[in-house]
Amino acid sequence: MAKRVQFRAYGGPEVLQYVDFTPADPAAGEVQVENRAIGINFIDTYIRSGLYPVPDLPSGLGTEAAGVVTKVGAGVSVLKVGDRVVYAQSGLGAYSDVHNVVAEKVALLPDAISFEQAAASFLKGLTVYYLLRQTYEIKPNEVFLFHAAAGGVGLIACQWAKALGAKLIGTVGSDEKAVRAKQAGAWATINYRTENIAQRVAELTDGQKVNVVYDSVGKDTWEASLDSLRRRGLMVSFGNASGPVTGINLGVLNQKGSLFVTRPSLFGYVTNRAELEQASNELFSLIASGAITVDVPQNQKFALADAQAAHRALESRSTQGSCLLIP
């Protein structure tokens, strides 16, 4: 018998239940992973709340964890029992002691990277990879805007941008978070509670604005994001932390300078093992070299049984960087 977190109805953190379950053996093409550290991501709250509905209830939650392979299904040749691994694209159910995952979605974890480092950075790191390296390729010395720069994805983006020699302007919600973002490598920060985002972007760029904005906040920053772009700039929407953007008049894109908008996701950029290895190898190299550091504060590590508290902390926006569940 093992333990997992599930939910039977959509709602707030209180719908999360810590229950017993009997893991099935891995199917053909799958491996069973004994999770040692589990990543918590904002998308998990969207799924739990019903913003992103699941096919059936009750449902497990979570897609990211790091651990050790304990069983191997038929036809799997890329992994073996005992391998240290990390994954971020599993079916829902990573909030558990053990989880069966398609082997093609599982990456080998270098010995130099701990389970906690991996679970805290893999999905977020792969996200930053496709944002900064593929959706729009950030060049050395390029200035760009990245919202929520002190969040889990944001802090990795700050460090990755610095490694690329680029200049990230990060929005934050407090002076404390501004310090954290700058320590991570942000070139400049904007406190969205006290400053006008688009006005500050214009000031920081001598009126030139930026070619690209990365926005995971949603409706609260939509207008500011568009107003921060120069002519023919690209708005990259990759999340809805404040709620989804609705009622869009596409004519606004023309009025503000023939702008482009895209809504990418990891599942559109990492679709096979070759792409997974390319992305994970670049991420792991940056972590191993120290260019990206992943340190989860002790008060942001929660027991698996305390998933409700973890979600409350995440949604309160009181956290900085990543949060983890520890089985």
Spatial separation of the C-alpha atoms in residues 102 and 26, rounded to whole Å: 9
The answer to whether the beta carbons of residues 238 and 211 sit under 8 Å apart is: no
* H helix runs in 56-206, sequence order: 115-130, 152-164, 175-184, 197-204
Distance CA 218, CA 147 (A): 10
- Rounded to the nearest angstrom, the gap between the alpha carbon of residue 250 and the centroid of all alpha carbons in its chain is 28
Q: Could you name the CATH architecture of 2-121+269-326? A: Alpha-Beta Complex (3.90)
Burial 67-103 (b: 16+ CB within 10 A, else e): bbbebbbeebeebeeebbbbbbbbebbbbbbbbbbbb
pLDDT in tens, the chain (327 residues): 899 999 999 999 999 999 999 999 999 999 999 999 999 998 899 999 999 999 999 999 999 999 999 999 999 999 999 999 999 999 999 999 999 999 999 999 999 999 999 999 999 999 999 999 999 999 999 999 999 999 889 999 999 999 999 999 999 999 999 999 999 999 999 999 999 999 999 999 999 999 999 999 988 999 999 999 999 999 999 988 788 888 888 999 999 999 999 999 998 999 999 999 999 999 999 999 999 998 899 999 999 999 999 999 999 877 877 899 999
Q: Two tokens at 129?
A: 């990879």
Give this prediction's pTM: 0.89
183: phi then psi, degrees, rounded to nearest 5: -60, -30
Q: Domain extents for the chain?
A: 2-121+269-326, 140-264
Q: 140-264: same fold as 2-121+269-326?
A: no
Sequence-separated (6 or more) residues with CB below 8 Å from residue 96: 2, 3, 4, 5, 21, 23, 35, 38, 60, 62, 304, 327
Say which CATH class 140-264 falls into.
Answer: alpha beta
222 with 245: CB under 8 angstroms?
A: yes
